[in-house]
Amino acid sequence: MVQGPMFIRFCVPFFFNVSFFLAALSAKAQLDSTNEQEIPDVDMEIADLIKGMTLEQKVGQLFLVGFQGREITEGAQTMIREVKPGGIILFGRNIKTARQTARLINQSQITATELYHIPLLVAVDQEGGVVSRVKLNPPFPSALSIGNAENEEITQRMGYYNSVLLKSLGFNMNLAPVVDIISDKKPTFIGNRAFGVSVNQAVEMSRAFALGQKLGGIMPTLKHFPGHGSGFVDSHVALPTRNDTLEDMLKADLLPYTNLNQDVSPEAVMVAHIAFPKIDPSGLPAAFSKVFLQDILRKKLNFDGIVVTDDIEMAGASVTTSLGDRAVKSLLAGADMIMVAWNRVAQKSSVNKVIEAIKNGKLPEARINESLERILIAKRSLGILYQATPPNLRSFRSLALSNSISDLSEKLIETATQKSMQTMPQRDPKERVGIMSVVSTRKNFHSHFKKTYNSTTLHFGTPALRSGELVSKLKKSSNSLALVHITSRQVAQLLEYIPKNLKKRVILVNGDSPGIIPSPESYRHIFNIYTSDPRSGGFLGLALRNYFRPSSTPPQPFDLRTPAGN
């Protein structure tokens, strides 16, 4: 069942960003000072807590679980009582409104602390773009549209605002940023969820975003270790295999995971279900590989934060049919938290299997205590070791009613448009452009474009590509052009219906991800903006008006604060 999104309109000016951001920077200075102090090898507070826990409580802390519904039902309470999880993860199925989400999280924390006295890590996938469980209007930009600006200050602010929104609802952990390094030459599974197609851009921008989240009080989780890279196989449905060597990985995919302890501690790393047979000849997915989790991540990269698995229910994790055995294998390999996000029966059976493995000596309790210590230290750093931080809807409304995110989103679109214009072919001064046909699934994209382009335009939906309606329009007038708004791979595939001899009269707006447009050199130009935000139409209209008619009458005033809509 498709759940209704939570839409928040950014429309009222509010001086939220400066005071909160400066306060966060002050907190960072204090944090840096604390990190410089000598930390004892034995943390007595954490050690005493662990000594007082039962085996069932210890094992439960190693699980990150999900549940159905938008409120704490009797079934959810039973799950928390039986599993005693260290954390929960919410998806779109759990989120409808701000108030409902805050109430759900608060009730979950109350249930957990009453039962076993340790608050929960409350996680969510709030990457931006298509993977945003908390929906905003205008939408939170994709990671690639943020990274494409190559501006660390903007990226850090985006991470900070993202975390303020989440923390105000009661979340304390975000399963982001995505630090995979993708190709700009072919489609990838990750798409615009990554921060860059170059190593430097991906490393610098994802790290800035993670630091922003940390400043806002949310624990960032870098993923998907060791890296999906340019692969197209989705580990939800199959096991991806990469033939890279360790030397290859250290030059690219593993760079985002270096020096994490100094930069954004505390933090977590999510390990993916990907096999690298040239690095670990066993062929095991990384989430079950001692080579990756112990030899590479812990020893070579010196990471001492939390290692959480991607969901072990995924097809890529099928090292054995038993989910309980998968949990044991992953913990033996070096994981700290096991995600079982969907199946309540599997959650309970996995916990029982781990307890059984400890009792029969297959899984040393000392190994469990290592992970438990990392989890409890992270909770203490977040201020939730003994008492959960309650939601603060006032902070949520303050940011939601400000233009902080909206203004930065516009800046990103403007920067991407200007960046693409730099590679636009020089215009023939004799060229006279007729009607511009705009193809987009979003009517507001055309509305924004028409307002600034200030000339005759026609709007078509994407079916016009398949039906030949757009082609007919181009054939009728030799000086007409088309602007096609690519919002998905499915739309990109429809470009095959445009004859080769007409493609030089077509300008594309890539609002999705790199590598999805076949034969990109065939088209007059491609604007790579990597966001489907319809307000991009306004910036593109202005840029193309200045390009085709540099001396024309200025357009009517351009107000991007009109509703983004669809």
List the catalytic residues. 236, 310
- Pair type for strands 126-128 and 131-132: antiparallel
Taking the C-alpha atoms of residue 132 and residue 8, their distance in angstroms, rounded to an integer, is: 13
167 phi and psi, to 5 degrees? Answer: -65, -35
Residue with tokens 């309109």: 9
Taking the C-alpha atoms of residue 197 and residue 203, their distance in angstroms, rounded to an integer, is: 10
CA-based nearest residue to 293, from 313, 314, 309: 309
Tokens representing 17 are 């960003």
For residue 303, give the amino acid letter. Answer: F
Query: Is-contact 228 179, C-beta < 8 A?
Result: no
- Pair type for strands 481-486 and 457-460: unpaired
Query: Is-contact 303 257, C-beta < 8 A?
Result: yes
Q: CB neighbours of 381 closer than 8 A, spacing ≥ 6? A: 219, 265, 266
- In the beta sheet, which residues pair with residue 268? 221, 306
Query: Is-contact 251 284, C-beta < 8 A?
Result: no
Helix runs in 255-392, H state only: 260-263, 290, 323-333, 344-359, 365-381
| DSSP at 132 | E
User: How many Cβ atoms from other residues are within 10 Å of residue 318's Cβ?
Assistant: 15
Query: Is-contact 410 455, C-beta < 8 A?
Result: no
